[in-house]
Structure 1
């Protein structure tokens, strides 16, 4: 009885862990892509490194910002300058995280406006003293969100509130809440407040029609033409994150497909041996035709079984790609390992803005779940087969429980994904293939055990 319970518990936990892990990997990738807004992963990031001698960054001055905008006119560009400062009105003061940004910011990061509008190009060009404030920050300062047109003081200057935004309640943004700004102001207005500032962050969109900048090398060349050493800047192609994130489920599917084909071929070989064994026994007899006639039902069943296995193999081969799933990045192949895991964690801690660390944090989570979750799910399923080999159960009852528990685990995994605010991105092809593999193995294990009895 304990072995039956052990089989049931480990089977359900193994299926749920595996399905949830695969759904989490896809969901977190979609969640990150949504937070990265219009261009998703199709952009290149440039971050100025710190100069340890002069204790400042290799950022871009006001003149260099205009030069880069003209140089990169084919691509949409975003410049960001984060800083912290007190903002106040007549009754309240708050120490806030402020982001001076280009008007193109909503195309590069998700901004959910609940009142008013975001900063415009005209306001940036006119260096208007306007700002967009986050809903929670507005409640702390004004005790209300109905504040459009009201003034607030920032760096001894009066700014007018033109919009109120609300943090989007997604899985990633909730985890990275402290990285989100409280206030947005126009980039050119920040230069008015302090002409000596240098912009440390630049993002460049990558267009589908292959116009303008398309690679890190091209960005480095532009920096060189400006007299700036590319080695002083951290240039990251966001598409690399996507290339590493998407193949994980494909690799898991490939593993199950290979195992499925292995067992199908083994069964085919076994069936062929049984057919030849039956025919060989008939050849030994003086009455070969009579012997074959008496075994025609057995031979017919074996032939049908063999054709069925061939069809199954063909379907698996057609549904699964067997090319190399790991995409080339920087002329080499990257696979998740402990160094990527640690590097992503470090980048998340060091990041000063939300959009800067979303990709690193999403890859950190995907790395963790791919190493731990998929492995744990596989081990639990393997353990369930161990218990199954030592249970005395009717085949039909076991297969019925297996099918119902698989569907229940799939439904439960989808509900969990919904609760933690991730899109339920279950890959149907992978789900069906994994089910078919486990069903096939369960059936074989039971048949083998019943023959021993």
Structure 2
């Protein structure tokens, strides 16, 4: 299987293309699942409202405990909700000190976030007024040099709090990219409001009951905000049900590209098969009648028609697998495509939003989502504009070298399987959920197989002769 020396560059380009295609396939499927894992019990069935800290009314723009009680008892009484505020200070134990991020939260916060407790328990409703804390492993190691610290006390703002739980660190790629380099402490929101006079409740998270794209989730939250006298324009609202749909849609686009490559090859094979039968019939009809040709060459004609029907069936099956309804946020769709004022207003709104968000400190969940979304965008871009061009360029170079079809097929199959195994192993290493989508794998394999046949094989008959 070792190619000739002159063929090494072509096989290297081909291998790089296959590597990008394999990696983008396994990574793309993993990212939406990881986003769901980071969302705790509710996964992506949640919507968040984060206060834009530089709003025109800074104090009135944040939430109060009274607001949270009103929402829980009235407007959002049928919904699970969490809220949080953030502060920075130093934590101490005896002579040891360490900078920490302090999160004042309610007892439902762990239902919306991935908090893997190593020991103890998370904050409960009964502890709303108690001096208790949950710390993470980093802080436990910094202050106590071990993680068996449940029942001990740490000092925050000159007050001692009892440790009731220790949270494990996220060792995944996302956890590493969002690591602040210092520990985290979770305490009851009411306690943090007493300890830090300038702290404000800035994050509200609500479970969603509509997984579609109707906007119902956003309407429910905006109505709730208005009921407590808050302007929704002063908050950054993210519906994670829609966010994960858009992320998964990029996987569907990637599959669409792979299947399109396969369908182009299949249409070409179909055209060639039809032309073969056409020329065969013309040749026979020079000296035979239709009835004589059908009677004498019935088997060959039946086999040819069976091949055509099989190709049509495969094309229809591929189309059924890849078709989907493209979702575009309604606010980005004009009533008329040629509507200068709409696009001008859209650009103006974008500029105003960026100006309003200047200095905006996104919460951890939003930062994680932004990182995952950025990785997914780059993953799709590299798949379309690097993976496929490299693969097709490698095939073109191999065709010029007149390499044997069977040799190229074996190389692609073996290297693709190795690349998929390597990609899966890499996901395990970076602590990302390895997700195997059989349909996606088959689409990529079929596209690669057909592209190799088309680029390096001369005719369908010769292709099957090799196999």
Does the TM-score normalized on the shorter chain lie above 0.5? Answer: yes
- Of the structure 1 ranges 228-237 and 377-386, higher mean CA displacement relative to structure 2 is found in 228-237
Match of 1:34 in 2: 37
Matches within 5 A, 1:12-411: 12-51=15-54, 56=59, 58-71=61-74, 72-124=76-128, 127-178=129-180, 182-194=184-196, 197-207=199-209, 214-285=216-287, 299=301, 302-318=304-320, 320-324=321-325, 326-332=326-332, 351-411=361-421
Q: CA deviation at 1:130?
A: 0.7
Shift of 1:47: 1.3
* Contact 2:210–2:217 (CA under 8 A) maintained in structure 1: no
Rounded Cα–Cα distance in structure 1 between residues aligned with 2:104 and 2:261: 54
Q: Displacement of 1:196 after TM fit? A: 6.3
State the SS of the aligned residue for 1:392: coil
Per-residue CA deviations over 1:239-281 (Å, capped at 9, x if unaligned) read 2211210011211222232332333233223222222222222
- Spell out, residue by residue over 1:313-334, the C-alpha distance to the aligned partner (whole angstroms, 9 max, x if none): 243234x14232x324345469
C-alpha distance in 2 between matches for 1:448 and 1:130: 75
CA distance in 1, matches of 2:299, 2:455: 25
Q: 1:187 to 1:47 in 2, by over 3 A?
A: same
Contact 1:50–1:57 (Cα < 8 Å) also in 2: no
* Aligned partners of 1:131 and 1:161 also within 8 Å: yes
Tell me, in whole angstroms, the C-alpha distance in 1 between the residues paired with 2:60 and 2:30.
36
Rounded Cα–Cα distance in structure 1 between residues aligned with 2:143 and 2:116? 20
Paired residue secondary structure (2:400) = coil
- Alpha-carbon distance change, 86 to 282 in structure 1, aligned in 2, over 3 angstroms: closer
Distance of 1:355 and 1:189 partners within structure 2: 22
1:350-382 Cα distance to aligned partner (Å, 9 max, x none):
545322322122111111221134421111111
1:434 paired residue among 435, 440, 444:
444
Q: What is residue 10 of structure 2 aligned with on the other side? A: 7
Q: Note closer, same or farther for the CA distance 1:321–1:165 as it changes in structure 2 (3 Å cut).
A: same
The answer as to whether partners of 2:89 and 2:101 remain within 8 angstroms in 1 is: yes
Q: TM-score under structure 1 normalisation?
A: 0.86
Q: CA deviation at 1:4?
A: 2.5
Consecutive unaligned residues of structure 1, counting only runs of 5 or more, are 335-339
- Does the CA contact (< 8 Å) of 2:254 and 2:380 recur in 1? no
Contact 2:47 / 2:208 at 8 angstroms: preserved in 1? yes
Contact 1:3-1:390 within 8 A present in 2 as well: no
Alignment RMSD, CA only? 3.2
Return the offset for 1:144: 3.0
Q: Quote the offset at 1:294 in angstroms.
A: 7.8
1:148, distance to aligned residue in structure 2 (A) = 2.1
Q: Which residue of 2 aligns with 1:337?
A: none
Equivalent position SS for 2:40: coil
Contact persistence 2:131–2:160 (CA under 8 A): yes
Out of 234-243 and 95-104, give the one that drifted further. 234-243
2-side partners of 1:398 and 1:407: how far apart? 14
Partner-residue secondary structure (3-state), 1:215: helix
In structure 1, what is the Cα distance between the partners aligned to 2:125 and 2:292?
Answer: 92
Greater mean deviation of Cα atoms: 259-268 or 46-55: 46-55
Matched residue pairs, number? 438
Contact 1:7 1:385 survives alignment (8 Å)? yes
SS in 1 for 2:100: strand
Q: Relative to structure 1, is the Cα distance of residues 290 and 243 closer, same or farther in structure 2, using a 3 angstrom cutoff?
A: closer
- In 2, the alpha carbon distance for the partners of 1:108 and 1:244 equals 20
Preserved CA contact (<8 Å) 1:282 1:292: no
Q: CA deviation at 1:110?
A: 0.9
Task: Quote the offset at 1:199 in angstroms.
Answer: 0.9
Give the SS at the match of 1:246: helix
Q: 1:145 to 1:347 in 2, by over 3 A?
A: farther
Unaligned runs of 5+ residues in structure 2 are 335-349, 463-467
What is the CA distance between 1:301 and its match in structure 2?
Answer: 5.3
